[in-house]
Amino acid sequence: MESFFQLIAEGTIPQRVSHNDTKLSNFLFDKQKKVVCAIDLDTVMQTTVLYDFGDAVRSYANPFAEDHPDLSEIVMDLERFTAFSEGYADRAAWFLNDTEKTYLAFSALYITYEQFLRF
């Protein structure tokens, strides 16, 4: 975890404007299920976009709500993870550097660890 954070601190993983709370409930959708806009903007700041990716995976790859009462049912759905990762990489490859691409999947572990420490 420290070596990942060090890559951010030294700029190898650049800081960009990020939402930092990219769960589904922070997006508004139209009737065609297309995203209209992001909401809950109080967490927007300059950090790594890997925090957004990791938090999105934490939210999207689990088929249950964040507050699902039975923790034994919480899983990472690999099909959801793969679909989200491929879609993200397809759209973001043009601006991500090689180190960011390398750490995409790890960022889901990092943000889960960070959430564990916070709560």
Full residue range of the structural domain in which residue 112 is found:
2-118
pLDDT tier for residue 1 given thresholds of 50, 70 and 90: confident
What pTM was estimated for this model as a whole?
0.85
Helix, strand, coil fractions of the chain, as percent rounded to 5: 55, 10, 35
HSE at residue 30, side-chain half, CA atoms within 13 A, is 5
The pLDDT of residue 9 is 94
Q: Which of 42, 39, 41, 36 is nearest to 25 (CA)?
A: 39
The pLDDT of residue 51 is 92
Question: Over 90: is that where the pLDDT of 22 sits?
Answer: no
Contact 70/82 with Cβ under 8 angstroms? no
The span from the CA of 92 to the CA of 89, in Å, is 5
Q: What is the mean pLDDT of residues 22-27?
A: 87
Torsion of CA 49, 53, 58, 30, to 10 degrees: 110
Give me the CATH number covering residue 65.
3.90.1200.10
What tokens were used for 14?
A: 């650049």
Number of domain units in the chain: 1
| 42-92 pLDDT tens trace | 999 999 999 999 989 988 898 888 788 998 998 889 999 999 999 999 999
The span from the CA of 31 to the CA of 12, in Å, is 41
